[in-house]
Chains A and B, each alone.
Chain A
């Protein structure tokens, strides 16, 4: 909490309800669009064309429905207990799509134990995901957890630079909800489609 009577340099009011689920389409975290939206048709970003080439996307193309190969729920950015609950909420009673690999890596051993006490590990395993030990894992292609060249990874980490998750790997940063929904459909999916 901020101290009573604190004075701010600048106040920004945001309507969180108007923020849609977002996903990155490029090679830095600023290259981002609504999951229900499109890759921009054009951009003043000097690396726009290079990013599209690397990602295998066309300018202006629709994002939802684009095939994916790997889903990573983890990293220091999004592997709190609440993140795991959110992802499990989407996966409960569902299976991940054939051919998709999904890793769930809790943020710490403490979170892992808490999640297991709630039965979240069973939900992930029953859905066909891997329930792993806490660690850096696929956030930066550590511990042998890499994404293959040309493959698409929906990842709840926070870096999507070229080669971040493996040489030639294509990273799409998204929330745990979007990641879990995309794992179920095997394509980039707006989680609101599954949450009804």
Chain B
């Protein structure tokens, strides 16, 4: 995974609450063991018309959505099934940050292990972000803050270990592997006793 320090992007606004993982990536696309390509099916049932062509009404298909790394959505984002493919599909599409007032627990946990930063903001800030699509924001992981236009900045909660992993570009296993030398030394000492 790519280490994250700061991410600056225009926002892609999805003004919907309770976006569930069946909408993020429908179950019929889960028959894969790799993450690559899942982004093509991100929000598939909203994004494509029955004939397979892009739905021009859907936010993701609008010209201004291209290249956005920050998604802003309504309350309770990522509810529903535990599928890890949900953050995979978002990151494969290029989304690195999701901003909402709350996230479903499992989705949030999956995101933190897959290089996707869930940013919880208060209701007033979310309302402002929803009302101002396409503005430029900057995520700053070192300070756990989101910088908004006009010099405004809001803090968001994130566990220190998750933040460390995101900034190093590793997941929990990657963190353990980075301690391989210490683990081996410990095992040798233990065997010698």
Residues on A facing B (Cβ under 8 Å): 28, 46-47, 140-142, 146, 159, 161-164, 167
Contact = CB atoms under 8 A, between A and B. Distances in A.
Contact of B80 (A46, A146, A161): A161
B20 interface: yes
Main secondary structure of the interface of A (DSSP, over half): loop
A21 B55 CA distance: 40
Contact of B17 (A47, A141, A161, A164): A47
A163 B22 CA distance: 7
Contacts of A47: 17-18
Contacts of A161: 20, 22-23, 80
B18 A28 contact: yes
Interface of B: 17-18, 20, 22-23, 26-28, 45, 79-81
Given A140-B81, A142-B27, A159-B80, A28 B17 contact: no
Contacts of A163: 22-23, 26, 45
Contacts of B27: 140-142, 164
A167 B27 CA distance: 10
Given A140-B27, A140-B81, A141-B27, A159 B22 contact: yes
Contacts of B79: 28
11 contacts: A140-B22, A140-B27, A141-B27, A159-B22, A159-B80, A161-B20, A162-B22, A162-B23, A163-B22, A163-B23, A167-B26
Contacts of B81: 140, 159
Complex A-B, nearest 4 residue pairs according to Cβ-Cβ distance, in ascending order: A140-B27, A161-B22, A161-B20, A164-B22
